[in-house]
Structure 1
Amino acid sequence: MTIRIREARPAEYGVLGELTALAYLKDGLLDFGASDSYLTELRDVAKRAAAATVLVAVADDVLLGGVTFVPGPGPMADLADGDEAEIRMLAVDGAARGRGAGAALVRACVERARALEGCGRIVLSTQRTMESAHRIYERLGFVRTPERDWNPLPQLDGITLLTYELTL
């Protein structure tokens, strides 16, 4: 199976949005108060594509997963500051996991960040329970930056997103 990474096509936005939402739900990642609003955000690929770059992993014309590459500070950035790019909303269909799609998507984001003039780092947030994603990030050279960990829902205690960065 050859995995290709390319920009998502508008005709794929609905499928990718559902794939992303289902991946987060099945992994138990939306077990906090604002689940509904974040599910809406995960499903709204058109909104993400208007403000950033949405990449997909495809094999044999089957959509395996996707990721949002944010080239710097802006409306889609949670962390990116100054000379940083950001990875958001990485998701791989449950049936396609373990085949390298997630790593291929992250590598594609790193390549895009390296191609950006003046970009010195690529950053991301992740939940504690996303251990398979953590392994991908660490294998590709990302390091934890606990000083940047943050709570996306300050009104709820105990939700801390872990952060990673890769110096380019």
Structure 2
Amino acid sequence: MIVFRLAQPADYDEVARITRDSYLAAGHFDSAEHPYMQQIQQVAERAEAAQIWVAERAGEVVGAVTLAQKGEPYADIALADELEMRMLVVDPAVQRGGIGKALVAAVIKQARSLDGVQAVSLTTGDSWVSAHALYQSMGFGRVSERDWPVPGTEVWLRVYRLEL
């Protein structure tokens, strides 16, 4: 059974490791020293500005996701009626076991519990094909007019949205 709960300070090191390992294993970055990689591994600082939720299985943290709403520091694309899902990661050692899907389902459930939230939105890399497949399989649709470039790069990010 997978438990979805708010991250606690004792979880932060494991969330940082899973984030680093999953981004590197997927080939999104060549090094953990990349400035963005350094930033997303600062879990305590992120937790001060956003909600970080973890997936726990058999007492072990196996995944995490950051949630934000419009106007919050970690909201990149959220509209007023959206809960934005960011940095969804699953430990590479247990990927392909349904944890990512369970995390997305838990985010959707959380979004439905929030007043004024009518949709879940997210951004994903243009080449992150397995992520696209997961989101599409769960009902998310592309919102290509909201796609945006990573500042200072030629990398484009895709926006997906799920109406609740």
TM-score by length of 2: 0.92
Deviation at 1:143, TM superposition (A): 0.3
* 5+ residue gaps, structure 1: none
Preserved contact between residue 21 and residue 39 of structure 1 (Cα < 8 Å): yes
Alignment partner, residue 25 of structure 1:
24
Taking only aligned residues, the RMSD between alpha carbons, in angstroms, comes to: 1.6
Matches of 1:151 and 1:87 in 2, distance apart?
A: 18
Deviation at 1:148, TM superposition (A): 0.6
- 2:5 pairs with 1:6: yes
Deviation at 1:43, TM superposition (A): 0.5
Structure whose residues are more often strand by fraction: 2
Deviation at 1:31, TM superposition (A): 5.1
> Following TM superposition, where does structure 1 have runs of at least 4 consecutive aligned residues deviating by more than 3 angstroms?
none
- 2:157 pairs with 1:161: yes
Task: Report matched runs for 1:2-151 at 5 Å.
Answer: 2-30=1-29, 36-151=34-149
SS at match of 2:78: coil
The one-letter code sitting in structure 2 at the alignment partner of 1:3 is I
SS at match of 2:108: helix
SS at match of 1:161: strand
SS at match of 2:153: coil
Deviations 1:84-114 (A, max 9, x none): 1100001111111111111111111111111
Aligned length: 163
Matches of 2:53 and 2:77 in 1, distance apart?
A: 19
Deviation at 1:156, TM superposition (A): 2.1
The one-letter code sitting in structure 1 at the alignment partner of 2:3 is R
Percent identity reads 39
Matches of 2:91 and 2:129 in 1, distance apart?
A: 16
SS at match of 2:34: helix
Preserved contact between residue 56 and residue 63 of structure 1 (Cα < 8 Å): yes
Deviations 1:113-138 (A, max 9, x none): 11111112211000123222212211
* 5+ residue gaps, structure 2: none
Deviations 1:60-100 (A, max 9, x none): 11221111111333111010021111000011111111111
Deviation at 1:15, TM superposition (A): 1.4
